[in-house]
Amino acid sequence: MWFVVVFAVMLQTSFLTPPVGFSLFCLKGVAPPQVSTKDIYLGVIPFVAIQLFVVLLAFAFPDLVLWLPREV
């Protein structure tokens, strides 16, 4: 269960980072013409940083991820 959660968060992070960044290209497609790709890349940095921080927390404290499945 822990691996699946970490894998899912890292997969979402890969959708938000260049060079692949599928979510970034979708956002560029619906953004107004004055919004550049660089603006989108710079705007996603805080979200990627938060996701990487959560992955570090999951590595350091696996019980944060596993407490809910144990309750069910």
Per-residue pLDDT reduced to its tens digit, 17-61: 877 788 888 888 999 999 998 999 899 999 999 999 999 999 999
| DSSP-assigned letter for residue 49 | H
Residues with Cβ within 8 Å of residue 9, at least 6 apart in sequence: 51, 54, 55, 58
What's the average model confidence in pLDDT over 7-16?
A: 89
Distance from C-alpha of 61 to C-alpha of 72, rounded to nearest angstrom = 20
What per-residue confidence (pLDDT) applies to 61? Answer: 92
Predicted confidence at residue 67, as pLDDT, reads: 86
Predicted confidence (pLDDT) at residue 7 exceeds the cutoff of 80: yes
pLDDT of residue 32: 94
Q: Which structural domain range is residue 16 located in?
A: 2-71
Question: Which pLDDT score is estimated for 55?
Answer: 92
The domain total for the chain is 1
